[in-house]
Chain A
Amino acid sequence: MNIPGDLLYTKDHDWIRVEGTKGHIGISDFAQAHLGDIVFVELPELDAQVEQGQAIGVIESVKAAATMFCPAGGTIVAVNEELEESPELLNEDCYANWIAVVELGDQTDLEKLMDPAAYTEYCRQAEAEE
């Protein structure tokens, strides 16, 4: 299970990489592995005002559909349109292939997220329950 050290994670298996006032967001290795071959990404809406925990997109595989929940609130300022043609990029590298960029609103949202160590433990428990 790949869990990069420079990211923050949500309990819905989404990640955010914060750089200044912006955050790149995506889905984690746990998420893409459990979804299987990803066939379609319903991207978040550009310019949308979003809140932490809000449903902003859907990742579909052949056998599942997972809602993407926003890791931290703000405005969606970019979406990765490459994923429209090539959803498999999320399986190939779910960290290099971000899904959207958020211009962050309330940075205190980030305090509610898990750091890599906490997320590692969270994944370990989730797998034990399966």
Chain B
Amino acid sequence: MKYTPNPNPVVDEMLQTMGLSSLSQLFSDIKPELQLDRELNIPGGCGEMELRSHLKELAARNRNTEDFPCFLGAGAYDHYIPAALEQLLLRSEFYTAYTPYQPEISQGILQSIFEYQTMICSLTGLDVSNASLYDGGSALAEACSLACVNSKGRRKVVIPDTVHPEYLQILKAYSLSGHMDIVVVPGRGGAADIEAMLAAIDDQTAGVVIQQPNFFGIIEDAASIEQAVHAHKGLLIMAVEPISLAVLKSPGEWGADIAVGEGQPLGLSLSMGGPYLGFMAARKALMRKIPGRIVGQTTDLDGKTAYVLTLQAREQHIRRELAASNICSNQALCALAASMYLTFVGPRGLKDVAVRCHQLALYARQALEKVGLHLKFEQPFFNEFAVSISNPSVANRRLLENGIIGGYELEDALLLAFTEKRTTAEIDRLAAVLGGK
């Protein structure tokens, strides 16, 4: 397959214009001993027909969630993606475009980002949003880092171990910087241990993290944490799930300073873990501190409304070694997908999706209890919970044999998630297989 448009005679013509006779002369600035004396050991190229066969063969060897009901959650959820979204995202002016640094030629993209920022603020109940970060975990790391940098010398970030285990691994890597000390507080009964958290919060605390719902699907009560962290002049950081925000108390209502989260449920396919969408919103006071690109509304020379990347003095290309974040490329097309999703489902639709997810979880609880299985934690949940099972991997194997992709394996439980794509029939089958001996 070739994407180079100049055939050999044209190549020769171009070389001649420069007084050259072969392409290899264009590399005379590279010492011969550095140049490869062989072809790259990558099998010869192929045309589209062979590519299709090869990729289809690789894809066919996988069980995918379109063919098998999937009860996995753990941060990535099998939600319905509207057909219109899939097609609009293929408009090449969107997906083959660069970052909108030249506003005159990219008003469409800049406006879409402004709309996305507005929707994220609206969902989180906060004042300002950026144009996206890589994913929920790295967004959380950026928020914790911001809290430390903003706190004039504090380094402590308090976080319960009821968050996504990968969040803790990401924070561990980011704290290699030496700017952050991550203090992990063991949870209790599947939720954050409020007393232990309060005991850990002091005048050295830059930020406190609450994940909502937490990794086990449980809805945390952050009220006393919020009071404590603010009494000590730290920041409250909430890692939230966007669909749940249609019905659950928003970070703004909780009094959070920063909200981050994984935006994958908003119209992004599961795609084995990426590309996903990290969102971040914050209170107005942190506007000039948050990382990532931000679009602002302004006017042009004729007074027309226009959109432009703004507050760039925060970013790496200006701050360089003084930058608090190094982010450059973000997840722009994924953010566009999210604002398309929210537009296509609409306010009532989003609430319907959220309520349906929760109702199916309630239905599943009843179905599982009927076959003698019980929730591991007796706590309010949104659309995900852990059901106690003596041998989770064996249970998952049985589910797979019955054409069901099961749950996330905990030590003595299965973490099961329920989205609007699941049916009661599927849940009945799940319960039957899990309950069967």
* Direct contact between A and B judged by beta carbons closer than 8 A: yes
User: Which residues of A approach B to under 8 Å, CB–CB?
Assistant: 39-40, 42, 45, 60-65, 67
B61 interface residue per 8 A CB criterion: no
Stretch of B25-33, B214-222, B311-319, B377-385 at the chain-chain interface: B311-319
B318-368 with Cβ < 8 A to chain A: 318-319, 322
Q: Mark B62-78, 1 if CB is under 8 A from A, else 0.
A: 00000000000000000
A64–B312 CA distance with the chains assembled, in angstroms: 8
A-B CB pair tally, cutoff 8 Å: 21
Task: Pick from B313, B314, B322: contact of A61, CB below 8 A.
Answer: B313
When distances are taken between beta carbons in the complex, the residues of chain A under 8 Å from B312 are: 62-63
Supplied contacts A40-B288, A67-B322, 11 more A-B pairs, CB within 8 Å: A39-B313, A40-B313, A45-B152, A60-B288, A61-B313, A62-B312, A63-B312, A64-B318, A65-B313, A65-B318, A65-B322
Cβ of B409 to closest chain A Cβ, rounded Å:
48
- 12 A-B interface contacts by CB (under 8 A): A39-B313, A40-B288, A42-B288, A45-B152, A62-B312, A63-B312, A63-B313, A63-B318, A64-B318, A65-B313, A65-B318, A65-B322
Interface centre among A39, A62, A65, A67 (most CB of B within 10 A): A65
Q: Which residues of A contact B319 (CB under 8 A)?
A: 65
| Most chain A CB inside 10 Å of its own CB: which residue of B152, B288, B313, B314 | B313
B side interface size, CB within 8 A: 8
How far apart sit A62 and B308, CA to CA, in the bound complex (Å)? Answer: 12
Residue of A nearest to B312 (CB): A62
B288: which A residues are within 8 A, CB to CB? 40, 42, 60
Q: Cα distance A40–B313 when bound, in Å?
A: 9
Distance, CA A68 to CA B139, complexed state (A)? 30
CA separation between A65 and B313, bound complex, in Å?
6
CB neighbours of B322 from chain A (8 A): 65, 67
Chain B residues positioned under 8 Å from A67 (CB to CB): 322
Chain A: interface secondary structure? strand
**Residues of B near any A CB (own CB < 8 A):** 152, 288, 312-314, 318-319, 322
Q: How far, in Å, is B319 (CB) from chain A's closest CB? A: 5
| B-side contacts of A65, CB under 8 Å | 313-314, 318-319, 322
Hey, which chain A residues are within 8 Å of B313, CB to CB?
39-40, 60-65
Residue in B closest to A63 when the chains form the complex, CB atoms: B318
CB distance from A7 to the nearest CB of B (A): 26
A82 to B49, CA, bound (A): 67
Give, as a whole number of angstroms, the nearest-CB distance from B317 to chain A. 10
Q: Provide the residues of chain B in CB contact with A60, threshold 8 Å.
A: 288, 313
Q: Which residues of chain B have C-beta atoms less than 8 A from A61's C-beta? A: 313
Q: How far is the CB of A31 from chain B (nearest CB, A)?
A: 15
CA distance A60 to B323 in the complex (A): 13
* Minimal beta-carbon separation of A67 from chain B (angstroms): 7
**Cα of A61 to Cα of B318 in the assembled complex, Å:** 10
A75 to chain B, nearest CB (A): 16
Measured CB to CB, the nearest residue on chain B to A67 is: B322
| Bound CA–CA A62/B322 (angstroms) | 16
Q: Cβ of A64: which chain B residues have Cβ within 8 Å of it?
A: 313, 318
A70 to chain B, nearest CB (A): 16
What's the nearest-Cβ distance from chain A to residue B322, in Å?
Answer: 7
Min CB distance, A66 to chain B, in Å?
9
Closest-by-CB residue of A relative to B315 is A65
A45 neighbours in B (Cβ, 8 Å): 152
Bound-complex Cα distance A39 to B314 (A): 12
